[in-house]
Amino acid sequence: MDFLTGLKISSSGMAANKKRMGAISSNIANAQTTRTAEGGPYRKKEVVFGAEPARETFSEMLEGELGENAQTVQATEVISTDKPPVLKYEPNNPEANEQGYVAYPDINMMEEMANMIATSRAYEANLAAFNTTKSMALKSLEIGNK
């Protein structure tokens, strides 16, 4: 694998984790949102990751220049979960139904914080791989100039 492919794979991982972090942040910010523009409580968002070959041109694909295992990660879509809302008895709340229950999003803050830490660590790992690849490329240029 060449340096540019290594950089491309690491940067795709950082971009995908940035998108996941945005979804997690949205979940945390809207954990108490009982009414949205679509109607009903906020729906938890999740990011779906997918892999694509780390090839850019058709000729690279034909020649098989890169190994079959070199793939980039892509955040293919952001989906809203279909978990039912959590009903809490709050008869004085203006959002309460006829029985006095308010529908809140089914968002577990501990789970979201754990996901945020895992996503942060994955981003940091991709950043470390990116910086290591960059350092190797710079060192190889230094060797070539001597």
> Over the range 56-92, which residues count as b (16 or more CB within 10 Å of their CB) and which as e?
eeeeeeeeeebeeebbbbbbeeeeeeeeebeeeeeee
- In this predicted structure, what is the pLDDT of residue 89? 96
What does residue 69 show for φ and ψ, rounded to 5 degrees? -85, -10
Which residues neighbour 128 within 8 Å (Cβ) at sequence distance 6 or greater?
Answer: none
* pTM of the model as a whole: 0.80
- In this predicted structure, what is the pLDDT of residue 140? 84
Query: What total of structural domains would you count in the chain?
Result: 1
- In this predicted structure, what is the pLDDT of residue 143? 82
CA distances from 29 to 67, 103, 113 (A): 42, 16, 12
Domain boundaries, position 123: 3-144
Encode the chain (146 residues) as per-residue pLDDT tens digits.
677 888 888 999 999 999 999 999 999 999 999 999 888 899 999 999 988 776 655 555 555 555 556 778 888 899 999 889 999 999 999 999 999 999 999 999 999 999 999 999 999 999 999 999 999 888 888 886 76
